[in-house]
Amino acid sequence: MAEQLNAFEMAQEQFDHVAKLLKLDSTVSEMLRWPMREYSFRIPVRMDDGSTRVFQGFRVQHNDARGPNKGGIRFHPAETLDTVRALATWMTWKCAVADIPLGGGKGGIIVDPATLSVHEKERLCRGWVDVMWKNIGPRNDVPAPDVGTTPQMMGWMMDEYSKLVGQYTPGVFTGKPLGGGGSEGRTEATGYGVIYTVREAMKHLKMDPKNSVAAIEGFGNVAQYAAIGFIEMLGGKVACVSCWDRNDKKSYTYSHKDGIDPHFLLTIVDEYGTIDKKKAQDKGYVVEDGGAWITKDVDVLIPAAIEGHVNADTVKTISKRVKLVAEGANGPVTPEADEYLKANKIFEIPDFLCNAGGVTTSYFESVQNDMNFYWTKQEVLEKLDTKMTQAFNAVLHMSEKEKVYMRDAAYMVAIDRVVKAMQLRGWA
Ligand code: GLU
């Protein structure tokens, strides 16, 4: 396998490339290619058997020129400071491209949440807040769910913060459960947002969604609602999903000759995204190696798992039929794979545009928390569609005007907005 950049090197390389195109001032570049603040800390947690285990936690605040830092917290066994830095950086660009008044942040804990009991998870969540509470808040840094974290966890974290500051503060975390300060539509938001951008891209490419087939990598929150949206909103077919099996410690692709039924798969997937193979096979699903999703004869690829899976090696196995890659995950396509997609004229919806629906709805959630007045699901999803469509079209316009690839265009739109805010605040 070819040597691969780590996620932060990749984020810096993407930024440097566009900074050069934009002839960005070197001081501004220096500010933007590194996070403004980073926290790396230890969290002691009392386990159910009475022992104490120490976990490594992170929070990176990349840039808050446009508003409070915003971004999820990942619970992942392979989490590193560099991954969190990359993800925090992409959040700055994501909020800017979606044109919501927020900056970029990301957090994490090195842990496989599937190995913890419910009570251990609750204590770990509260422990993260006990360390970080002075450095987060509705006006400076607002975390949310990401890979390995759930609305319930956000509920515990919000509760811990509220206790520590002595007042109910729902706006400190988003992605909270409904009835616990959460917003209608937040669960569907990232996956549906992916589909709103796919719809706009298909219009541009003159593709007929009803005659289109997609292959999706992942079956977590983003992939689940992207699959539902592709079928129900666009009328297309989803050939397969591919996801990690925590029992076998490997991933599998699940395909069906008539197209997969996400609602059925939702009944046989556990909370960590592992699908019950036997039950799938009984319903006629073919179970193959995890890498098979990318080789399928489809029109659209939606990588919606984690970073780096569309790389120099796997990209060459893409079918000639593929016209569109919609990046539901953060950082799924490496710079080498980008070059291949460009050379083969495959249209790409870059990650921080494509998956901005989650954070956009998080923003709506915090607005509703501030007002203490809540919108209906239809109101939320309509507002989300408007934002995503505007963001897609602003990037497409930039790409056509500057004759650059969509990722570079998205960076241009985002960097321009962040630099402007920095200048207005006297930082640049
Ligand atoms: N974790 C999500 C993302 O990567 C959502 C972040 C948020 O809602 O703040 O965009």
- How far apart are alpha carbons 356 and 362 in whole angstroms? 10
Report yes or no on 74 lying in a domain.
yes
Percent of the chain at pLDDT above 70? 99
Dump pLDDT digits (tens) for 88-108.
999 999 999 999 999 999 999
- How far apart are alpha carbons 417 and 99 in whole angstroms? 8
Report yes or no on 383 lying in a domain.
no
Pocket of ligand 1 (CB under 6 A): 70-72, 94, 144, 146, 174-175, 330, 355, 358-359, 362
Active site residues: 106
Distance 174 CA to ligand 1 centre (A): 9
Residue 210: other Cβ atoms inside 10 A: 9
Report yes or no on 375 lying in a domain.
no
The two beta strands, 324-326 and 69-76, are unpaired
Q: Which of 142, 359, 361 to mutate to test the pocket of ligand 1 (most atoms within 8 A of CB)?
A: 359
Ligand 1 atom closest to residue 142's alpha carbon, by position in its atom list: 9
Q: Which residues in 23-170 belong to E strands, given as ranges?
A: 37-46, 52-63, 69-76, 104-110, 141-145
Q: Which of 61, 146, 187 to mutate to test the pocket of ligand 1 (most atoms within 8 A of CB)?
A: 146
In whole angstroms, how large is the CA radius of gyration of the chain? 20
Distance 71 CA to ligand 1 centre (A): 5
199 shares a domain with 161: no
Dump pLDDT digits (tens) for 121-154.
999 999 999 999 999 999 999 999 999 999 999 9
* Residue from 375, 127, 114 nearest 245 by CA: 114
Give the CATH number, domain containing residue 327. Answer: 3.40.50.720
- How far apart are alpha carbons 334 and 5 in whole angstroms? 8
Residue 401: exposed, middle, or buried by beta-carbon count in 10 A (0-12, 13-18, 19+)? Answer: exposed
Handedness of CA 414, 417, 422, 423 (dihedral sign): positive
Distance 304 CA to ligand 1 centre (A): 13
Dump pLDDT digits (tens) for 150-168.
999 999 999 999 999 999 9
Ligand 1 atom closest to residue 70's alpha carbon, by position in its atom list: 9
Run of H or E residues at 414: helix 406-424
Question: Residue 272 above 60 pLDDT?
Answer: yes
pTM of the model: 0.96
Dump pLDDT digits (tens) for 53-92.
999 999 999 999 999 999 999 999 999 999 999 999 999 9
- How far apart are alpha carbons 140 and 169 in whole angstroms? 13
Would you put residue 155 in left (φ > 0), alpha (ψ -120 to 50) or beta?
Answer: alpha
318 shares a domain with 246: yes
Dump pLDDT digits (tens) for 192-231.
999 999 999 999 999 999 999 999 999 999 999 999 999 9
* Residue from 330, 344, 355 nearest 405 by CA: 344
Give the CATH number, domain containing residue 95. Answer: 3.40.50.10860
177 shares a domain with 196: no
Dump pLDDT digits (tens) for 399-414.
999 999 999 999 999 9
275 shares a domain with 151: no
- How far apart are alpha carbons 240 and 213 in whole angstroms? 9
Question: Residue 1 above 80 pLDDT?
Answer: no
Domain boundary among 127, 156, 183: 183
* Residue from 96, 305, 147 nearest 218 by CA: 305
pLDDT at residue number 285: 98
Dump pLDDT digits (tens) for 27-50.
999 999 999 999 999 999 999 999
Distance 248 CA to ligand 1 centre (A): 28
Q: How confident is the model at residue 4 (pLDDT cuts 50, 70, 90)?
A: confident
Domain span at 195: 187-354
156 shares a domain with 59: yes
Task: Share the mean pLDDT of the chain.
Answer: 97
Q: What residue owns the CA closest to ligand 1's atom 9?
A: 71
Distance 297 CA to ligand 1 centre (A): 31
pLDDT at residue number 271: 86
- How far apart are alpha carbons 339 and 321 in whole angstroms? 18
Report yes or no on 232 lying in a domain.
yes
Question: Residue 259 above 60 pLDDT?
Answer: yes
Question: Residue 10 above 70 pLDDT?
Answer: yes
Question: Residue 345 above 90 pLDDT?
Answer: yes
Q: How confident is the model at residue 2 (pLDDT cuts 50, 70, 90)?
A: low
Task: Domain count for the chain, please give it.
Answer: 2
Report yes or no on 397 lying in a domain.
no
Question: Residue 350 above 70 pLDDT?
Answer: yes
Run of H or E residues at 215: strand 213-217
152 shares a domain with 293: no
249 shares a domain with 159: no
Record the tokens describing residue 354, joined without a space: 């494509």
Question: Which residues, other chains included, contact 325 with Cβ-Cβ below 8 Å and sequence gap of 6+?
Answer: 300, 301, 302, 303, 310, 333, 341, 346, 347, 348, 349
Ligand 1 atom closest to residue 175's alpha carbon, by position in its atom list: 8
287 shares a domain with 173: no
Q: Which of 83, 91, 157 to mutate to test the pocket of ligand 1 (most atoms within 8 A of CB)?
A: 91
Q: Are 331 and 7 in contact (CB under 8 A)?
A: yes
Q: Are 258 and 239 in contact (CB under 8 A)?
A: no
192 shares a domain with 335: yes
Task: Name the DSSP letter for residue 236.
Answer: -
Ligand 1 atom closest to residue 72's alpha carbon, by position in its atom list: 1
Handedness of CA 42, 45, 51, 55 (dihedral sign): negative
164 shares a domain with 226: no
Distance 279 CA to ligand 1 centre (A): 32
Question: Residue 307 above 80 pLDDT?
Answer: yes
Strand-pair partners of 71:
143
